[in-house]
Each structure stands twice: as structure tokens, then as C-alpha cells.
């Protein structure tokens, strides 16, 4: 769909208060859509990065595990982007059942509501973690799925649930599989903001786990454009579409690049407490984005160095919102 095609459309974004979700909301508003955001209910009333934007966005608080509330949010929508999920890999090791409840059953509730309310298009969010360590690279959508963490297993289950509704009921579902998205608003749970927050806090040592794994980092605005492109592609229906830069970098080299971009001086120090359990580490991720380019007309626009510079500036200006604590890639 072109930007003009979104004008006047009613669009739901589940998880709209989050890092990628709020950026997608920005792009939809700019394209003229009427945006409804389903945000995770919290007793203290936080709406994340949508806080204070009630004049622009119809914000509904709830939980994707609540089928009735999800149905209420989906009713009357033309397009649904389903991003709400538990995403932290470390927590999935200690609370795997919560990932099944939120990611698998939550996705069932959303896709079932889309079927019931005859939504024109649903885009379900996957993750490159479903591939596990690359067997062949770059990784195409035909690559085997390898559940190397309870998180990735729950996302594989969620992906299959979404696709099953396309095959069984002709529900118009497409699956977008972003590789490692980064940029402004990302929490220090992730590797790039946690390194930058340490640097801008004046740390002389940057503590990391494994530095040899490689990742394909995609700037958040490019990922958001990928969502819109997949939603506009009839060819993507019933399929998975990778969205990634097609460039890989090791975590060690990334840390050195971030030191340069930030203008700080620090050295990298190994920290065994940050290493994933044996056989759980994903050693290599590199995206084959052929489908995104050929089926959806999408290409990444922001080079890694430029994206890291923008992210560094944002972290510097929002350091009080970030905590330089332990993470897992």
C-alpha cells in the first residue's frame, strides 16, 4: 500500500506502546491512518511511548490473553499489525509458560478476532530468532526453524498459528520476520542501547557476553516501513517475509563501532554471567531480504553507521530512562 492508501483506514497496532510498535504508529499517522493501539494494561496506567498521545491515537489497555478484550480492539479495523509479545530471551528461560500464554495464545486470540470481524489484512510479527544459528547464509524464509530458546519456540508456535488461519480459513494473514531491529526508544535490554548507555554514563569498561556471534541489524524506521510494505503485498499473504539489512557484524566489532560513534573511550571486557546457556546461543544471523524487495518493494535505507549515530544521540539525551544493566543478545 502507498502512503495515500492508508488515509482514512482504521488500523490496530497491538503492542503499540513499545519500541517498534510506537515507531510504526508514527509512520501510520504520517500516512493518514486512523490508529488504534492495544497496549498492555498496567495498574499504574503506563502507555509506554504513546503516553500523552491520546489526541492522536485511540489507546485501549488490555492483555492479548483476554480474547474478549482483543475482539473489542479488533472490531471495525481494516488492518491489524500484531506486535504484542513477550520478547526478552533471558526471562524465557525462567518463565517459559508465560511465553506460551502471551505469544501463542495471544496470537490465536488476535488472528481469531481478525477472522471473526473479517479484517482486510493482518500482519503478524515473527523474529529472526526462530531460525537459530544459520545453517546456510544469508538466511531465506525456507531456512529450517530451530527453537534454541523457549522464546524462539513460542514465536515459532505463534507464527504457525497465524499462518494456519490463512490456510484453514483464508484469513488474510502475512508474517513479517524482522531481524535485529535497533534505534531510538529501544530499552537497555538489547545490546546496542546497553552498550551506548554504559558509554554515555562514562564507563571505562563495556561488559559483554559472547562477542563472536554475528547479527543483522536493521534501523527501526526501516523495519516500520517493512511492516507497511508487507501489509500492502498480496503476494505475502500466507507467507513469511524477512526484513533485514543483508549485512552482518559481530558483537565485538559492533562494540568497537559504538565506541567510535559515541566519541567515548572504553575497552570491552568479557562477562560470563551474560553468556547464554549451552546450545542456546545463536551464532550467526544474516538476512536474505529477496522477498521483501521483490514481493513488497522494500529496501533498507539507513546504513548501520548512520543508524548507530542517531541511536547514540538518542541514548545520550535519554540516559535517565535507560539502565545499563545486564542483557542477553
Catalytically annotated residue among 49, 151, 182, 327: 151
Asked, as a colleague might, if the bond just before 244 is cis with ω within 30 of 0, I would say no
Helix axis angle for 251-262 and 304-317, nearest 10°, is: 60
The residue behind cell 552482518 is 248
Element (H, E) at 59: strand 58-62
Nearest alpha-carbon partner for 161 in 118, 101, 117, 119: 101
- How are the residues of the chain apportioned to helix, strand and coil, as percentages rounded to the nearest 5? 45, 15, 40
Contact in structure between 243 and 321 (CB atoms under 8 Å): no
Q: Which three cell numbers stand for residue 273?
A: 554471567
Contact in structure between 243 and 297 (CB atoms under 8 Å): no
Contact in structure between 159 and 106 (CB atoms under 8 Å): no
Backbone angles phi, psi at 58, to 5 degrees: -80, 105
99 is a catalytic site residue: no
DSSP state, residue 16 = T
CA separation for the pair 179, 67 (Å, rounded): 29
Angle at 224 between CA 38 and CA 261, to 5 degrees: 120
Contact in structure between 148 and 282 (CB atoms under 8 Å): yes
The residue behind cell 481494516 is 78
Kindly list the catalytic residues: 151
Amino acid at each position: 500500500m502507498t502512503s495515500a492508501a492508508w488515509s482514512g483506514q482504521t488500523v490496530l497496532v497491538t503492542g503499540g506502546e513499545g519500541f517498534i510498535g510506537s515507531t510504526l504508529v508514527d509512520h501510520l499517522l504520517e500516512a493518514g491512518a486512523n490508529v488504534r493501539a492495544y497496549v498492555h494494561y498496567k495498574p499504574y496506567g503506563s502507555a509506554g511511548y504513546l503516553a500523552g498521545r491520546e489526541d492522536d491515537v485511540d489507546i485501549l489497555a488490555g492483555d492479548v490473553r483476554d480474547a474478549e478484550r482483543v475482539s473489542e480492539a479488533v472490531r471495525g479495523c481494516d488492518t491489524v499489525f500484531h506486535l504484542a509479545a513477550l520478547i526478552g530471551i533471558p526471562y524465557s528461560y525462567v518463565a517459559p509458560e508465560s511465553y506460551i500464554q502471551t505469544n501463542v495464545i495471544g496470537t490465536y486470540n488476535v488472528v481469531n478476532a481478525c477472522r471473526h470481524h473479517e479484517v482486510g489484512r493482518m500482519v503478524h510479527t515473527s523474529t529472526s530468532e526462530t531460525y537459530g544459528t544459520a545453517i546456510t547464509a544469508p538466511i531465506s524464509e525456507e531456512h529450517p526453524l530451530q527453537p534454541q530458546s523457549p522464546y524462539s519456540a513460542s514465536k515459532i508456535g505463534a507464527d504457525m498459528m497465524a499462518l494456519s488461519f490463512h490456510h484453514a480459513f483464508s484469513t488474510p494473514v502475512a508474517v513479517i520476520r524482522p531481524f535485529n531491529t535497533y534505534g531510538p526508544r529501544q530499552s537497555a535490554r538489547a545490546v546496542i542501547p546497553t552498550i551506548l548507555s554504559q558509554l554515555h554514563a562514562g564507563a571505562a569498561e563495556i561488559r559483554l557476553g559472547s562477542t563472536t556471534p554475528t547479527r543483522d541489524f536493521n534501523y527501526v524506521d526501516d523495519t516500520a516501513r517493512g511492516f507497511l510494505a508487507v501489509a500492502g503485498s498480496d503476494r505475502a499473504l500466507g507467507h513469511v517475509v524477512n526484513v533485514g539489512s543483508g549485512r552482518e557484524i559481530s558483537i565485538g566489532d559492533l562494540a568497537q563501532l559504538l565506541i567510535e560513534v559515541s566519541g567515548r573511550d572504553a575497552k570491552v571486557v568479557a562477562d560470563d554471567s551474560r553468556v547464554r546457556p549451552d546450545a542456546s546461543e545463536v551464532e550467526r544471523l544474516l538476512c536474505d531480504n529477496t522477498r521483501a524487495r521483490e514481493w513488497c518493494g522494500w529496501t533498507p535505507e539507513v546504513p548501520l553507521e548512520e543508524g548507530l549515530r542517531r541511536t547514540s544521540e538518542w541514548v545520550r539525551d535519554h540516559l535517565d530512562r535507560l539502565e545499563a544493566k545486564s542483557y542477553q543478545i
